Chains A and B, each alone.
Chain A
Amino acid sequence: MGVILEQFPLYVQGFLQTLRICVFAAIGSLVLGTLLAGFRVSPLAPLRAVGSGWVTVFRNTPLAVVLFAVAFGLPEVGVNGSYFWFGVTGLTMYTSAFVCEAVRSGINSVAPGQAEAARAVGLTFSQTLSLVVLPQALRTVVPPLGSVIIAMIKNSAIVGAFGVGGDLYSVGLQLTSAQGYAAVGVLTGVLLGYLVLTIPAGIALAAIERRTALAR
């Protein structure tokens, strides 16, 4: 276990890299996923098709396959970037499908009377959605959305395994393979790094859930 103290700065760097991946991917997938959920309930059939196609593809494909496909595919269509951004892009695309489904089920959970009342006072589709339905839906989707984000934090380890250097997973790989530390100690440190992110996220989620809970 001494390795955790000996290599502490390296662990901190890895932790920060994991945190960076998670923050970018969380913002990206929340925005993209909400947009896709809007597509899926839209009156325009082509947008609905895009939304459901996206969800079918990314929910059923393993993240590792998505990541490699992004890293090999994007340069071919003229998008070049670092592995870090490929990793973040892949994780965002994958997570956005789950965010979309969570938000969509939230939209469906809002009482029909709300949307009907909004329409009755003359709001358009986009006004109904953004001013009346989504604000209420977002509260009911906090628990599933939180689970999606916690799963995403854990999935960021796959982004590390795929080749984005410097994150917690890569620190574990480097210390065990290149520097020959015993795996038990090294990986305990790596695990602690992830638990530091996921356990407070879970507690925060429970707190938000209590505060935003609607009496229905």
Chain B
Amino acid sequence: MTSSVLYDAPGPVTRRRTMISSVVAGAIVLVVIALVLVQLAGQGQFSAERWGPLLNPANSSFAPVWELLGRALVATLVAAGLTLVFSLVIGTALAVTRVTAARWYRWLVVTVIEFLRGVPVVIAIFFAARVLPEAGLTLPTLWYLVIGLTAYNCVVIAEIVRAGIASLPRGQSEAAYSLGLRRSQVLGSILLPQAFRVMLPALISQMVVIVKDTSLGFIISYEEFVRTANIIIQNLHNPIQIYTVVALIFILINYSLGRLAEAVERRLSRSRTTAAPPAAAGAVDTGAAGGG
């Protein structure tokens, strides 16, 4: 932020004062960080014994630890990918139902959506893992996690789809109807394809939420990152180190997804003003590759 409306373009005195304050603030921040690091070092948190299994390939635990973390990554991505696919399909169906439903049962769709939106995800997963077996449906834990995550995310995606359809100019559906298309054709070949394009940034952002929420698999012993971390910690007794690495992996994945969403959004808004369909098609391709 080079110029802000919150303060004047600084003159020489203010610049000097800002400089001094910046140095002081920077020094305070560094001192706090240093104090934490010294404290951690005092507890032996930087010892080779604790970091070796993660950083030193010669360490006997290095290979098994990273193999476990690699498996956790696959487990996380599988659960997130399946959740995204199911949420997209069910969410789109819900949104279309909500848009096209006759008044007498639209309230039912709205109630279901509002209800599922109010349910904590962790309870939805717990519910799936406990209630489905009671009902005689025993599945691998992956599926309980996917069902629980989908129950929440499909209604969020339904809202995104609905907003996407609502954001299109009325002329689109009017033109389609005047060509003699049926309502299903108007939705399927005119409105939804355009809505998905508009929605793409929001969908990628929702992917961040889904990836983060797969970590809740630990409550039903699905071996994603948190569960895996806790297993490793039981053997190696280095919780701070393992959780630092796990957090960094999540930040790397989700920060990249966030940047991708921003890039797609910029590209979409640019192509909308210049009305260049080929660029837009390209944006959809890259988004689908990154989001899936």
With A76-B45, A194-B123 in contact, is A119–B8 under 8 Å at CB? yes
Residue in B closest to A77 when the chains form the complex, CB atoms: B39
Residues of chain A from 103 to 121 with CB closer than 8 A to chain B in the complex: 107, 112, 115-116, 119
Cross-chain contact A61 with B250 (CB below 8 angstroms): yes
Binds A, one of B165-173, B185-193, B224-232: B224-232
State whether the Cβ of B40 lies closer than 8 Å to any Cβ in chain A.
yes
Chain B interface size range: 35 or more
Which of B5, B233, B239, B255 lies in contact with A60, CB distance below 8 A? B255
State whether the Cβ of A2 lies closer than 8 Å to any Cβ in chain B.
no
Q: Nearest Cβ distance between residue A200 and chain B, in whole angstroms?
A: 11
State whether the Cβ of A195 lies closer than 8 Å to any Cβ in chain B.
yes
Task: Give the docked Cα–Cα distance between A155 and B123 (Å).
Answer: 10
Cross-chain contact A65 with B246 (CB below 8 angstroms): yes
Which of B10, B118, B130, B240 lies in contact with A195, CB distance below 8 A? B118
Residue in A closest to B8 when the chains form the complex, CB atoms: A119
Cross-chain contact A183 with B131 (CB below 8 angstroms): yes
Cross-chain contact A73 with B240 (CB below 8 angstroms): yes
Residues of chain A from 27 to 85 with CB closer than 8 A to chain B in the complex: 41, 43-50, 56-57, 59-66, 68-69, 72-73, 76-78
Task: Give the docked Cα–Cα distance between A43 and B10 (Å).
Answer: 10
Q: Number of contacting residues on A, CB 8 A?
A: 57
Specify which chain B residues have a CB less than 8 angstroms from the CB of A154 in the assembled complex. 118-121
Which of A69, A128, A158, A187 lies in contact with B216, CB distance below 8 A? A158
State whether the Cβ of A8 lies closer than 8 Å to any Cβ in chain B.
no
Q: Nearest Cβ distance between residue B254 and chain A, in whole angstroms?
A: 4
With A50-B29, A68-B229, A161-B216 in contact, is A184–B134 under 8 Å at CB? yes
Q: Nearest Cβ distance between residue B232 and chain A, in whole angstroms?
A: 12
State whether the Cβ of B4 lies closer than 8 Å to any Cβ in chain A.
yes
Q: Nearest Cβ distance between residue B2 and chain A, in whole angstroms?
A: 11
State whether the Cβ of B247 lies closer than 8 Å to any Cβ in chain A.
yes
Cross-chain contact B254 with A60 (CB below 8 angstroms): yes
Specify which chain B residues have a CB less than 8 angstroms from the CB of A62 in the assembled complex. 212-216, 225-226, 250
Q: Nearest Cβ distance between residue A114 and chain B, in whole angstroms?
A: 8
Which of B243, B253, B255 lies in contact with A68, CB distance below 8 A? B243
Which of A128, A155, A156, A183 lies in contact with B6, CB distance below 8 A? A128
State whether the Cβ of B273 lies closer than 8 Å to any Cβ in chain A.
no
Q: Name the residue among A41, A62, A160, A191 with the largest chain B CB count within 10 angstroms.
A: A62
